[in-house]
Structure 1
Amino acid sequence: MEVEKTDMPHSLRTERLLLRPAILRDAKGLSAALGHEVLTRQTGTLPFPLTEDKMREKLRGMIARQGESEFGFVMMFCSEMIGHLGLGRRSSGDWDVAYAITPAFWGRGLGTEAVQAVCRFGFQVLNLRAIQADVFHDNAASMRILNKCGFRQSSGRAEAHCLTRGMNVPVVNFELVREGFLKDAA
Structure 2
Amino acid sequence: MSVSVPTMYEVRVDGHLDDRWFGGLDGLVIARDTGHTSTLVCPVADQAQLHGLLGRLRDVGVTLLSLRVMPPVDGATAVGSQPALGRPLRTDRLILRPAGIDDADVTWRYRRLESVTEWTTSAPADLDAYRGIFGNPARLAATVVVELHQGAPVGQVIGDLMVRREDAWSQREVAGRARGAQAELGWALDPAHSGHGYATEAMRELIRHCFEDLGIRRVVASCFLDNEASWRLMERLGMRREVHAVRESLHRRGQWLDSVGYALLAEEWPTAP
Residue aligning to 1:160:
249
Aligned residue for 1:139?
Answer: 227
Which of the residues 144, 150, 162 maps onto 1:86? 162
In the superposition, relative to structure 1, how do residues 22 and 139 fare at CA in structure 2: closer, same or farther (>3 Å)? Answer: same
Distance 2:124 2:192 in 1: 17
Question: Structure 2-normalised TM-score?
Answer: 0.57
Structure 1 unaligned segments of length 5 or more: list them. none
Inter-CA distance 160–19: structure 2 relative to 1 (3 Å threshold): farther
Cα 1:168–1:58 change in 2 (3 A) is farther
Tell me what 2:57 maps to: none
Separation of aligned partners in 2, 1:148 and 1:184: 9
Partners of 1:104 and 1:180 lie apart in 2 by 32
Q: Which moved more, 1:127-136 or 1:152-161?
A: 152-161
Counterpart in the other structure of 1:60: 135
CA distance in structure 2 between the partners assigned to 1:169 and 1:91 by the alignment: 27
Picking from 167, 192, 210, the partner of 1:122 is: 210
- 1:87-102, aligned counterparts within 5 Å? 87-89=163-165, 94-102=182-190
SS at match of 1:155: strand
Q: Distance in 2 between matches of 1:161 and 1:143?
A: 18
User: Residue 23 of structure 1 aligns to a residue in which SS?
Assistant: coil
Matched, 1:22 2:128: no
Amino acid at match of 1:141: A
Contact 2:222 / 2:262 at 8 angstroms: preserved in 1?
Answer: yes
TM-score norm. by structure 1 comes to: 0.81
Deviation (angstroms), 1:119: 0.6
* Aligned residue pair count: 177
C-alpha RMSD of matched pairs (Å)? 2.6
Question: Bigger radius of gyration, 1 or 2?
Answer: 2
Match of 2:23 in 1: none
**Where in structure 2 are the equivalents of 1:168-183 lying within 5 Å?**
168-183=256-271
Structure 2 spans left out of the alignment, 5+ residues? 1-72, 149-153, 170-181
**Alpha-carbon displacement from aligned partner over 1:123-179 (angstroms, at most 9, x marks no partner):** 11221111111021111111221111110100275533445x355532111111110
